[in-house]
Structure 1
């Protein structure tokens, strides 16, 4: 196979990221037939269809999904090579970050925001794995250069930079009597209705293990995939929910009764990446994250 055409690779990724040939062509400011022909040429070069062309647009084939990681590695390698001979600064550099929703909210939003204020010419792409367990695989396989993950990790040979600790609090419907203690014992949840997040998430497994360790059995009243629905469901009287401490403070302002738990529910988080050199943008983000989170 001849060396890949970088433009074809970038066109392929544009179709993936914009969800179709038309939107990708508009974003790239190229004619749609030109983009389609380039992707077809790439498919011939690879010997596989990267997309299934269907009546309502395109969907990734299994070969296309497998090619996303290598394609991003190709573009990161080209960017690194250009940067090594370019003294013009960081203009146009991009960062690929994969994280789960609970970490994307905190500390991800504030961390990325402060990074871009310090580096206004950079571009950050934030991906979400299909399940929380897949995050480490996306980093290991090169689909994303950097992950923001709960710790500890499975043994996948990734380098880890610990940044801080997340804490879950309990939020109860307005008017709930939870006693006068500052922290609510998990045993007080026995027999109560609770609002949960999907089983594939880190938070669900973490909470269920903690409840099991205390011999507590709850009734799952609602499983809420949209995380932004959890606090409104609590305020609506559905039941109690485990939420980030930062979200609990917001919920309290809206009338929910919020408390830390006894024992505390805390877990470390940090950045993960494959061993070896990092791109310029990723090195800058790692350094910024260390300073932002006070991790040295």
Structure 2
């Protein structure tokens, strides 16, 4: 008996429906049902066809882990973090920010080309109004192509890492490249000048940004808020803690120390990994996701590089 079958026997269907509805309400917001109907029910050409890896990745429960990991990784760029701290409202309205992000991903991944472009135009209009300075006086603009590139590659890398580790399926090397190339279309539409189009290029771009990254007080405060002080009712905090631990475990080792996060390889291998798999599986079950049966699991090409380099 697999995990889904065991949960089906233990949990009444109505309880499963209530749990799934609550999760969707948190992630999609009050307009979630209306947006879903528009996204999936409106005829017309799409940016991405059914079966493309970007649809596979962005529709999986592993995005709950990938999204948290992306926020932590993005916070390491001081100018990007300053813009988030001053303008995103992540503390005062964290669920609103999550809902706006998930809605953007849904429209650009699954919606009509017209609606996808509208979503991009709305984000670009917001970015065009955001200006400021970091605490040490560095100017920033949210529409700066360099900062947009960092936000883009941190997201793409985190979403792909999460899917490869906790997803219902698994992408081979060609699938990883196809995912990065598809995400590049969205990044370019948002203003990224030359987004990476293969997994190798993605790894190279992240490595090139490392001299600019550091753990500011704002970044460490954001990490504490995301990981330790989520605005959740107490019954939801234990499963969220598992998601948060899985998100930290996805980070590259070099990203942990600047944020004050531990590196515990044995704990992560034997405890965090299985727990992350269990909680993403439970979310997948609650949302009634029916992913295709995964094929033979193949090593992520980036995992091979990490083992070869000893990083």
Global fold match (TM > 0.5): no
Tell me the TM-score range normalised by the shorter chain.
Answer: under 0.3
Q: TM-score, normalised by structure 1?
A: 0.25
More helix by share: 2
More strand by share: 1
TM-score by length of 2: 0.24
Q: Higher RCO, 1 or 2 (CA under 8 Å, sep at least 6)?
A: 2
User: For the pair shown, which has the larger CA radius of gyration, 1 or 2?
Assistant: 1
